[in-house]
Chain A
Amino acid sequence: MGWFGIFVLLVGWSIRGTGFNAGFFSNGRAQEQTQRFISGFLHPDLSLSYLGEVARSAVTTLQISFAGLAVGILIGVPLSFLAAANLSVNRTPGLPRWRRVLGLMPYQLARNLLNFLRAVPELVWALVFISAVGLGPFAGALAIGIHSAGLLGKLWAEQMEAVDDGPVEAIRLLGAGRTALGVLAVFPQARQNLLSLTLYQWECNVRAAAIVGFVGAGGIGQDLDVSIRLFRYSQASVLILAILALVVFADGTSALVRRSLR
């Protein structure tokens, strides 16, 4: 059996497992439901009062994304300095084994913590924080912040590890400790990329802020969830367009800031 055979088997196995049914849409009731859905979407609720509500939710979503980014920076950036081998690991050849192992501990701890923070999806973090602090945007900001910390920390650490080692060693030989090395040798070399990564993380946060609302963590996602559950497709249509506008706004703003930083 070749690769194609394996692929066909995998597809068959998945179709069976998910109850995938292409004939579903030929069913009369399903067609009616789909038509209602599409007609609702084609007639968005553009009343001023509703648009005002959507704008308020969109602003909340943006606030969740910013607050999440702030939490991510606050936790992720210090961890990234520990998780960058060129800043946190003493690589002097000839060190006794026990000192090498001991010296690796902060690095390993920071790396594993970052892996854990980022491995758990925002939605799961949102469920955790909703049970801790209740429904609403605060839980959303915390969820996105914790996940962002994991991502930002790892990306920053890798970016900092990739800088030219020559200037880092030169400044180490001037008597610099870890903080001095980080801010005087590593950060200036990686600054452009680090800022770019942070902006990208904010873009991701805007998308994530719309999604965490589905489990009750506030913002536009929460409104979308409610309107779909109540079959208010004309409102759902406006909310989906608003999410699209938010994402486009985030992409555009981020590109603009990146250009101005060059």
Chain B
Amino acid sequence: MDILVDAVTAGYRHRGAVLSEVTLGAARGEQVALIGPSGAGKTTLFRLLTRSLRPSRGRVVVGGADLGRLAGRELRSTRASIGVIHQRGDLVPSVSALANVAVATQAGAGPLAALRLAASGPTRDVAWRCREALDRLEVGHLAEVRVDELSGGQRQRVAVARLLVQAPSVVLADEPTASVDQASGDLVMEALVGLALAGAPMVIATHELAVARRMDRVVALADGVIVHNGAPTALDSGVLARIYMSDKIIASDAVETPEKAPWSRPACR
């Protein structure tokens, strides 16, 4: 099991427990969708998986390493192997797309490497790898453009290019297609699924049932506990009603799910 969340209870000082006794795993190459209403604990689970939050009980194991026991260089090196993508990309706005992607190659390589990158930019070899990743996301022509001059969809593609260059062994995607157009969303998902097919377990938090249905497994959180853990085919209207209670907007998504997305598994193989 490459990701293991073992009987974890976690929360925040002023909010109390957000997750209670949550157990969840993802094997090598497995694609897991994490669904649930807002406030269910999806983001908290992601924060646990990156050790941005420590559990009050239980343990979180990623790639064989118990995150709670890691500190300093060990923690940084484990983090470097976890690829995280958020809804808004989180790129440095005042530098070029290429510079943002190049950060993935040097951020975890120690202070000298970071200083060298900041002072003189990426080496020719690194720049070539970054351009290749940007090309794959169809934003290669924007490599030298400052990120704050790009559209939301283009930024998200650059963020995914950074993820590709990072070549993580675990992928965590927090609503990666929520604020982008269909074309960008398809490219983003195609790249993420590609990483999973290469062996990285992927957990993707999403409000889009169309995305969830394409994964190997769907885990649903509600009020901090897992209320569903099974195949996407088991997501019938009864299960959805239980997960989302009266959230009609999300439930209606289930009806509008397209039959086939361009990034779906058979197309990628």
Contacts and interface: CB of A to CB of B under 8 A. Distances in A.
Contact of A174 (B13, B88, B108, B115): B108
Interface residues of B, number: 42
Interface in A145-189: 164, 166-167, 169-180, 183-185, 187-189
B79 A188 contact: no
Given A94-B53, A94-B54, A184-B107, A166 B88 contact: yes
The majority secondary structure among interface residues of chain A is: helix
Interface in B8-34: 10, 12-13
A92 B54 CA distance: 7
B77 A173 contact: no
A171 B76 CA distance: 11
A191 B88 CA distance: 22
Nearest to A165: B90
Nearest to A93: B53
A173 B86 CA distance: 12
B144 to A, nearest CB: 15
A175 B93 contact: no
Contacts of A185: 92, 103
B237 interface: no
A184 B111 CA distance: 10
Interface residues of A, number: 27
Given A94-B56, A167-B90, 4 more contacts: A169-B90, A175-B78, A175-B80, A192-B94
18 contacts: A92-B52, A92-B53, A93-B53, A94-B55, A164-B93, A166-B88, A169-B90, A170-B159, A172-B79, A173-B82, A174-B103, A176-B108, A176-B114, A178-B111, A180-B107, A183-B114, A185-B103, A189-B93
Interface of B: 10, 12-13, 50-56, 76-82, 84, 86, 88, 90-95, 99, 103-104, 106-111, 113-115, 117-118, 159, 166
